[in-house]
Amino acid sequence: MPSRTPSASGGTSRRSFRRIAILVILALIVVGAPSLIGAFSGFERTSGGEVAVVRDGGPLDDNKVRQVIDPGSGVTWIGWWSQMHRYPAQQRFYTITSDAGHGERSGVDVVNVPSGDGVNMGIEGTLYFGLNLDHQTLKSFDDKFGTRKFRSTNGGTYYPWEGDEGWSAFLDQIIRPVIDNDLRTQINNFRCAQLVSSCALVQNNSGGQQTGGVPQQGNNANIAKIQEAVNTSLAEDLKATLGADFLTGIHFNLSRVTLPTEVQEAVNQAQAAFAKVTEAQAKVAQARAEADANKARQDGYNKCPTCAEIEKLKALPQGITVYAPGNTGGVALPTK
């Protein structure tokens, strides 16, 4: 029997089918893989110390806020390719200190503001606060600040929800200027010596004995007044700056007021000079007292010659056998 050969049309049909199958598989891979990834990444949760604002992010979605996830949540569906903006939910603080490495900024960080009499005062302290966890407020906060980047002290730019670097960059650019301004306003109401008593030593105020009518021991009371005034004004100023009550529990603890290096050196020199003057005055007083005592003693001897002779006898060494007043050889020392 003659052998059969496949027709040309049948081979073409099978090749076309294979091409279509390959295209379908590739389409499934291209569409399915991202969908699978998006499905797995669509489940999120928050830890106990953070709150999250979720924004839509799918290819066909807008970029509006989708939901807010409270601290310590369970696994939550946030949608395909949505973005989590995580913010601190616990009390936070912003520290200003000369102790390098312990402040919000690296290195030495002190707010230098002028006192009422023009002396630059170094202010150190800590601002305590928390983020308002009301859902609607958080959505507004994320709309206003979570969609823009802030420059950090190391030169990088971050969103405020990008970890500690982002949060610190936000605080440094938005919150720190308000703190500086409030401290400048309040410190300017006091003279240097009213905050640091040793400042009076290097100012022209009658030798540093007066401090503008305020006792030097009142320095701590004045610092407490500044702290109270800052706490009153800071909450109002932060609300005005941020546009809403995004921060709660605001409290500033003013821990230290210092003098500029050159002023402190002058104070140290003045204190050293004062100590020398005090020492010299003590020596003069001692010499004067000794002279007065000698004069009084001599006056007594003049009035009572016998008393003088008795004092001489008391002053003689033990064992004297011969004593002849008026005779240079009249004192005989004991023999051995």
pLDDT at 182: 95
* CA distances to 203, 207, 216, 252 from 259, in Å: 13, 19, 16, 21
Angle between helices 219-242 and 176-187 (to 10 degrees): 140
**DSSP per-residue letters across 76-137:** EE--TT-EEEEEE-S-EEEEE-SSTTSSSSSS---EEEE-TTSPEEEEEEEEEEEE---HHH
Are the C-beta atoms of 191 and 115 separated by less than 8 Å?
A: yes
- Residue 253 DSSP code: E
What is d(CA 79, CA 261) in angstroms, rounded to the nearest whole number? 58
Query: Does the domain spanning 100-208+219-259 belong to CATH 3.30.479.30?
Result: yes
Indicate the pairing of strand 111-114 with strand 120-131: antiparallel
Report residue 2: phi and psi, to 5°: -70, 140
Are the C-beta atoms of 234 and 252 separated by less than 8 Å?
A: yes
Residue spans of the domains in the chain: they are 20-87, 100-208+219-259, 274-314
What is d(CA 288, CA 101) in angstroms, rounded to the nearest whole number? 56
What is d(CA 244, CA 138) in angstroms, rounded to the nearest whole number? 11
pTM score of the predicted model: 0.66
pLDDT beneath 70, residues of the chain: 1-12, 14, 17, 24, 26-41, 100-104, 106-108, 201-217, 261-284, 286-287, 301, 308-316, 318-336
* CA distances to 51, 99, 125, 165, 220 from 102, in Å: 26, 6, 12, 15, 24
For residue 212, with 0-12 CB atoms within 10 Å meaning exposed, 13-18 middle and 19 or more buried, which class applies?
A: middle
pLDDT at 214: 44
What is d(CA 319, CA 323) in angstroms, rounded to the nearest whole number? 11
Tokens 């008795």 belong to which residue?
A: 310
Are the C-beta atoms of 111 and 179 separated by less than 8 Å?
A: yes
**Among the listed residues 221, 213, 199, 176, the one whose alpha carbon sits nearest the alpha carbon of residue 120:** 199
pLDDT at 253: 94
**Among the listed residues 146, 251, 257, 241, the one whose alpha carbon sits nearest the alpha carbon of residue 194:** 257
